[in-house]
Amino acid sequence: MSNSRRNLKAEDRALGLGQPISRRDFLNSTLIASGALLTSGVSPAQLLSQEDWTGYGGVGDYSSSNGNTYSIVQSGHGIRNGDFETLPAKVIDTGETYDCVIVGGGISGLAAALFFMRQSGSGSKCLVLDNHPIFGGEAKRNEFMVDGQRLIAHQGSAVFFQQYPHSFLARFYESIGLSSPKLEYQTWGGTDSALPLSRTPYDMVGSEPASYGFYFGAKFGQRPGVWWTDPWGKKLQGAPISDALRAELLKWRAGPQKPDPRPKYEGDEVSRRLDGITLEDHMVDLYGISRETIRTFLSPVEGGGSGLGPDVLSAYADYAADLLRPLESDDTDQMFPGGNTGIARLMVKTLIPDSISGANTLEDVSRGKVNFGLLD
């Protein structure tokens, strides 16, 4: 091994930079790079650094906190590269002291701050740091003005579960002002027949009404794109996809083709078996469909919310959330208009009562104005 190869950093070696390169590979990559320069293409890093790379963020307090920003991706790379293992050169001593400093203002950091403040007694100081313009982490929302109506939708975390009465979590909910965790939902008010609407992104999965639709765009040869309603009722007949793909998706939709024992608790035999295989292997076995169908069409659905595909997630990921639901019935799943942003806002209002305008009611905490002066 040459000296330069031996001295490589671990991440460069992981990328294969220590591997020998043939003359042909070298020439091919040089040609590709020259071609890319001629077409004035932008690199992935340049694409990510464009200001709007997270897409339109709507209006209001959350408009510039639309998902994770480019600087957060960079911080992740910095952690991987060991940049933070020594104290940065430009550290400024602000002279401030705190009894507790929490990095991250998501629901974990906010709950940690609440528990710290409750247990450490009066006079304690706790600092919560976050690298977004607003707290919440994955539990954030976006707001949009459509035809004069303010529409609110969750970014990531959507649903919370009703808890056993008097349990630790039920008491925690109550302590932040969520004393009736079974929410009351607005009913249909128009004179037209009611449009069946889902209260959470998940509660109609498997029973989608005819108003449910798929969007087929340019990738499916549709210019302009088309909304295609009632796909399952129509058994995908007429959808712009191949017969083979239609058959595969219908097979998935029909459900497992063999027994699918579900884990009863984390660590039981079924959960350990599922945890030993990928979700993709499990789906191939259970539904008899191809890896390609799973990777192309089902990846965001299966193991949803994990940020990874079924090819790397454990099969247990698909069952784990159900084990968190303490009460059996499905209608225990609850959701604020902005998802668990509501929980984050309730916690912030409990920590600093004037940080969100209005009373400590669900309605006011959801709609109230954030007083950033009290948070910064």
Ligand X SMILES: Cc1cc2nc3c(=O)[nH]c(=O)nc-3n(C[C@H](O)[C@H](O)[C@H](O)COP(=O)(O)OP(=O)(O)OC[C@H]3O[C@@H](n4cnc5c(N)ncnc54)[C@H](O)[C@@H]3O)c2cc1C
Q: Tell me whether residue 132 or residue 287 sits nearer to ligand X (CB atom).
A: 132
Distances (CA, A) of 113 to 53, 101, 105, 250: 32, 9, 9, 48
In contact, 181 and 163? CB cutoff 8 Å = yes
Task: Report the nearest approach of ligand X to the CB of residue 340 (Å).
Answer: 6
Q: Which of 108, 102, 98 is nearest to 347 (CA)?
A: 108
Parallel, antiparallel, or unpaired: how do β-strands 141-146 and 100-103 relate?
A: unpaired
Q: Tell me whether residue 62 or residue 160 sits nearer to ligand X (CB atom).
A: 160
Task: Report the nearest approach of ligand X to the CB of residue 314 (Å).
Answer: 16
Which residue has tokens 């087929």? 216
Task: Report the nearest approach of ligand X to the CB of residue 226 (Å).
Answer: 26
In contact, 199 and 335? CB cutoff 8 Å = yes
Task: Report the nearest approach of ligand X to the CB of residue 108 (Å).
Answer: 3
Task: Report the nearest approach of ligand X to the CB of residue 326 (Å).
Answer: 13
Q: Tell me whether residue 156 or residue 338 sits nearer to ligand X (CB atom).
A: 156
Task: Report the nearest approach of ligand X to the CB of residue 1 (Å).
Answer: 36
In contact, 125 and 99? CB cutoff 8 Å = yes
Q: In angstroms, rounded to a whole number, what is the distance separating the alpha carbons of residues 340 and 140?
A: 7
Q: Tell me whether residue 107 or residue 178 sits nearer to ligand X (CB atom).
A: 107
| HSE-CB of 372 using CA atoms within 13 angstroms | 7
Q: Tell me whether residue 106 or residue 342 sits nearer to ligand X (CB atom).
A: 106
| Residues forming the site for ligand X (CB under 6 A) | 72, 75, 103-109, 129-132, 137-139, 156-160, 305, 307, 340
Q: In angstroms, rounded to a whole number, what is the distance separating the alpha carbons of residues 304 and 301?
A: 5
Radius of gyration of the chain (CA): 25
Q: Tell me whether residue 109 or residue 338 sits nearer to ligand X (CB atom).
A: 109
Which residue has tokens 């595909």? 309
